[in-house]
Structure 1
Amino acid sequence: MSEFKERIDALASLMEEYRLTEAVLEDGPFRVVFRRHSTPVAPTPSVAEALSFEAHDEAPFETEPAVPAAPVGTPISSPMNGIFYDAQSPTSPPFVKEGDSVTAGQIVGLIEAMKVFNEIPSPVSGVVKKVVAEAGTVVAVGDTLFLVG
Structure 2
Amino acid sequence: MKIDVKTIKELADNIDKYNLNEIALESEGVKLVLKKEKLVQVETRPVQAAVVQQNTAVVEEAEEEEVVDTQEKEFITAPMVGTFYRSSAPGNPAFIEEGDTVASGETLCIIEAMKLMNEVKASKKCKVVKILVEDGQIVKKGDKLFVIE
- Quote the RMSD (CA, aligned, Å): 2.2
Task: Identify the residue that residue 92 of structure 1 maps to in structure 2.
Answer: 92
Amino acid aligned to 2:124: V
Cα gap change, 1:139 to 1:101, in 2 (>3 Å): same
Normalising to structure 1: TM-score of the pair? 0.54
The one-letter code of the counterpart of 1:136 is G
Give the CA deviation at 1:104.
1.6
- Tell whether the 8 Å contact from 1:83 to 1:111 is kept in structure 2 after alignment: yes
Deviation at 1:72, TM superposition (A): 5.1
Matched, 1:143 2:143: yes
Contact in 2 for aligned 1:72/1:129 (Cα 8 Å)? no
- Render the CA deviation track for 1:83-116: whole Å, top value 9, x for unaligned: 0000011111100010111112111000000000
Structure 2 equivalent of residue 102 of structure 1: 102
TM-score norm. by structure 2 comes to: 0.54
- Equivalent pair of 1:72/1:147 in contact (CA under 8 Å): no
Gap regions ≥5 residues in structure 1 = 1-13, 19-65
Letter in 1 for 2:93: P
> Could you tell me how far 1:122 is from its partner in structure 2?
1.1
Aligned to 1:116: 116
Query: What CA deviation, in whole Å up to 9, does each residue of 1:111-132 have, x standing for no partner?
Result: 0000000000012212110000
CA distance in 1, matches of 2:111, 2:87: 10
Aligned residues between the structures: 88
Map of 1:78 onto structure 2: 78
Percentage of pairs with the same residue: 34
Tell me the distance in 2 between the aligned counterparts of 1:114 and 1:76: 22
